[in-house]
Structure 1
């Protein structure tokens, strides 16, 4: 056996670039304090990380940090850049770039330190990128915590804001519990199968590792721990207060990039490590999906605060993404979960649009009431029309065709579980009510017709443009987005 560990530097280039850039941003801000310099460096770092992602797309399935020998058995690797990894990298990098632009509004008020903000954002993004390439439980758990720990600080970074501090504490306490439960679950999986590698665990399950009951408990504990990360009911109560208390840009990051990291963890652990136990964990996840989408939609009906409505909507959307998990069989785990990955990609684009517009409205209406959005289409069409499109897409209606197709993907993946399809159909109908209520406000006459200007920060305007154009483009040409996404797991 070769005792010298070889490293594929191209494979690890993206997370390395983000990690190094995080340190550079912090140092540059300390010696050259300029308001826009950290944001510029962060965007350049994201673009630099996109380069190896693009290069690897032509030659995926590269692995590094491997153990084993071809003569002794199959090689097991801790880090792999297959098509699934690269699709997730695209989602994470796009989301990070948009959140960086939205964050220019938070930094501009002087209460959020620019250097620390972008340092934490890049650290968390580096963790999300590493997580997508993780192929063993140790790397996966460490990467998941690298995503979460900076996010705690981001939520409470705004000076003199007790709501932000409360949001950070709630998020921290819930995440600590989730990590402890996840760690217990993966320790049981390792104890039974004798491997921390996902492929090794899958092989152990296939050969009937004993004791079987311990293996099942380990799998279920892992599911519960990751359910905290994706805000699945009943592990969701931190979401509304955290989203409302944190700056809008942080809420956008938690709703897309951080949530995507949790779902990627589920896809890897369940889809790659435990497909042989699908008959055991799928019914549990199906129940979680039904509870999550129902609670999210029903509680969203009562909301008059825009960001809190988006928080409960985010919970409901997490339920939709969980639906394919609840309908898999041991023989079709990959193709079934491709529906979840497709929905996640679409959700990232349209949800970021909604949060970007919320950041604009928040510059004039910090209370973020739904009534504050009255007449937005006429007063600020550059923000009103993108928000209208995002709400229609989240509801799954034309002209938000990409949102409709995402829901069709999930319905198709869950077609074998009739009761779950019915629950989702009912919830989609419930969701139409509160999305339509918000949409109506956008087209109503403005309450203050004399004041028809909004202070749209340049960065936030670019973020709205990026996400809106992407949403419209993929609604016209959905294959450009969905074909590579579905192929990654199919």
Structure 2
């Protein structure tokens, strides 16, 4: 019988405990701070997330666990290499989201967003996202996933009186509730068939389950995976993503595109590679089909977002994130038939880290552009290099990384690693589909990049003859030539762009280091 008295490894838990404790502290402090000082809550949030990220350094050996039924076995929390990389991505993404929120005035009085509640929800979601990759039983996994997503509903809808935000939050809420219900039903079937919630115990139970429970176990596995496919916005369960990203405040859209997706993928990895490993002949092909469908739907949807059609840049990034999710699923499908699944999972984690860094950088530049052009259309990026050379060069680098073109070496390396996973697992059909989708993605990424260096009519006109914006509705290329475009860049926003650019360049310099570390002690 396991001991009821356990020693808790608080060092291993610090990346989760710090954001959770700070969330409560911020909510209480909001009651006593005068309105003029509420901006301090944002900087306190950023400092707390930075501190939580720094606590990962003592854990870099990746061999700590706690909440174990027996010493060193059947643990509910494990701080291995896989968990640490995802936690770094979650906490780093939340930190950059906080900087974007500070820079864009997301929580000021003009947007009617209550600052205390905003920072509380962001920290709570980050705590759940940090807990999820370290979860090693079904109960902790589901609780962590819901703690990550439930505050996100409110973050999307927190802007009062905004019809688009309310509609986006409603779509997000309904899809997530359905996903949770399906997942819980599947998990209950799995528990009934195996008698345990520990992930390793579930794998053992699935191999030894009596014949009469085999069909129940298979149904549970299928329902659980379908529920997580909803959470990940894998096609055909992606319908909520474009409207949710476009209706949410821009920092929240950035957070959902990286942190929410990374947390969901980490949960799916834990379920498939550890708990449902005995059924790899079932979930492997299923994930392969989902990967092909998701990347195709996402890239075709992004291809339709043309500058001439007055499309939103955030909506293009939303469709792009769906396509990137398809790439992330490829190594997971390959892991089903791989002799060393940890190698394939390391590829997924490395790709997620690359995507997270450069996608957050793209959102940071988008936040800068929307300061002068609130509608955030693709046409507002025309000639950005003439107005803000550094921002244009940074965005071009981020887009080329996402496309997998030099000088975005990290993007090219990640795509080659994913492609190699498909080929190595004898999934030639999936490799072909991925190659076609990479070519499709090149079109809209390069098209956006070229737009940054395209001269506008104002740039081409002789000095003193540049056309002026007419009327209060001018928000196009001419409008961004005005004072709003020339205003200085907020410190927080400049830091966010600089951090993502430096991280992208560093990863491009040594991409194999992340891959080797990610292929750690998951199994």
Aligned to 2:340: 332
CA distance in 2, matches of 1:161, 1:458: 28
Aligned to 2:516: 483
Q: Does the CA-based 8 Å contact 1:193-1:209 persist in structure 2?
A: no
CA distance in 2, matches of 1:107, 1:314: 26
Normalised by the size of structure 2, how large is the TM-score?
0.90
**Deviation string, structure 1 residues 294-327 (Cα, Å, up to 9, x no partner):** 0001111111321100000000000000111222
The reply on whether 1:79 has 2:112 as its aligned counterpart is: no
Q: Does the CA-based 8 Å contact 1:414-1:420 persist in structure 2?
A: yes
Aligned to 2:277: 275
Task: Select 1:54's aligned residue among 53, 57, 61.
Answer: 57
CA distance in 1, matches of 2:488, 2:243: 26
The reply on whether 1:39 has 2:46 as its aligned counterpart is: no
SS in 2 for 1:414: helix
The reply on whether 1:13 has 2:23 as its aligned counterpart is: no
Shift of 1:208: 4.9
Moved more, 202-211 or 236-245: 202-211
Shift of 1:485: 2.2
**Deviation string, structure 1 residues 380-400 (Cα, Å, up to 9, x no partner):** 122111110011000001100
Aligned to 1:121: 122
Aligned to 1:187: 188
Aligned to 2:471: none
Aligned to 1:94: 92
Shift of 1:455: 5.0
SS in 1 for 2:56: helix
CA distance in 2, matches of 1:456, 1:160: 28
CA distance in 2, matches of 1:305, 1:110: 20
List aligned pairs for 1:393-412, cutoff 5 A.
Answer: 393-412=401-420
Shift of 1:473: 1.6
CA distance in 1, matches of 2:217, 2:457: 60
Aligned to 2:267: 265
Shift of 1:489: 4.8
Judged with a 3 Å threshold, the aligned counterparts in structure 2 of structure 1 residues 434 and 488 are, in CA distance, closer, same or farther, namely farther
Judged with a 3 Å threshold, the aligned counterparts in structure 2 of structure 1 residues 188 and 229 are, in CA distance, closer, same or farther, namely same
Q: Which runs of 4+ in 1 moved over 4 A?
A: 447-450
Judged with a 3 Å threshold, the aligned counterparts in structure 2 of structure 1 residues 454 and 306 are, in CA distance, closer, same or farther, namely farther
The reply on whether 1:67 has 2:69 as its aligned counterpart is: yes
Q: How many residues align?
A: 485
Aligned to 1:433: 443
Judged with a 3 Å threshold, the aligned counterparts in structure 2 of structure 1 residues 400 and 267 are, in CA distance, closer, same or farther, namely same
SS in 1 for 2:160: coil
Q: Does the CA-based 8 Å contact 1:15-1:127 persist in structure 2?
A: yes
Judged with a 3 Å threshold, the aligned counterparts in structure 2 of structure 1 residues 458 and 247 are, in CA distance, closer, same or farther, namely same
CA distance in 2, matches of 1:96, 1:380: 26
Consecutive unaligned residues of structure 2, counting only runs of 5 or more, are 306-310, 460-465, 467-480
Q: Does the CA-based 8 Å contact 1:29-1:37 persist in structure 2?
A: no
Aligned to 1:312: 319
Q: Does the CA-based 8 Å contact 1:63-1:81 persist in structure 2?
A: yes
Judged with a 3 Å threshold, the aligned counterparts in structure 2 of structure 1 residues 447 and 243 are, in CA distance, closer, same or farther, namely farther
CA distance in 1, matches of 2:344, 2:510: 23
Q: Does the CA-based 8 Å contact 1:154-1:250 persist in structure 2?
A: yes
Q: Does the CA-based 8 Å contact 2:80-2:520 persist in structure 1?
A: no
SS in 1 for 2:219: helix
Shift of 1:52: 2.7
CA distance in 2, matches of 1:414, 1:454: 48
Normalised by the size of structure 1, how large is the TM-score?
0.96
SS in 1 for 2:396: helix
CA distance in 2, matches of 1:223, 1:332: 22
Q: Does the CA-based 8 Å contact 1:153-1:168 persist in structure 2?
A: yes
Task: Select 1:343's aligned residue among 333, 344, 351.
Answer: 351
CA distance in 1, matches of 2:449, 2:55: 40
Q: Does the CA-based 8 Å contact 2:16-2:131 persist in structure 1?
A: yes
Aligned to 1:387: 395
Q: Which has the larger radius of gyration?
A: 2
Shift of 1:77: 1.1
Consecutive unaligned residues of structure 1, counting only runs of 5 or more, are none
SS in 1 for 2:68: strand
Shift of 1:289: 0.6
Q: Does the CA-based 8 Å contact 1:376-1:446 persist in structure 2?
A: no
CA distance in 2, matches of 1:235, 1:107: 31
Shift of 1:129: 0.7
Judged with a 3 Å threshold, the aligned counterparts in structure 2 of structure 1 residues 363 and 209 are, in CA distance, closer, same or farther, namely farther
SS in 2 for 1:107: coil
Moved more, 1-10 or 315-324: 1-10
Q: Does the CA-based 8 Å contact 1:286-1:323 persist in structure 2?
A: yes
CA distance in 2, matches of 1:454, 1:469: 24
**Deviation string, structure 1 residues 94-127 (Cα, Å, up to 9, x no partner):** 1111111011112244422221111100000000
SS in 2 for 1:10: helix
SS in 1 for 2:237: coil
Shift of 1:487: 3.6
The reply on whether 1:463 has 2:496 as its aligned counterpart is: yes
Judged with a 3 Å threshold, the aligned counterparts in structure 2 of structure 1 residues 478 and 215 are, in CA distance, closer, same or farther, namely same
**Deviation string, structure 1 residues 119-149 (Cα, Å, up to 9, x no partner):** 1000000001111111000010011000000
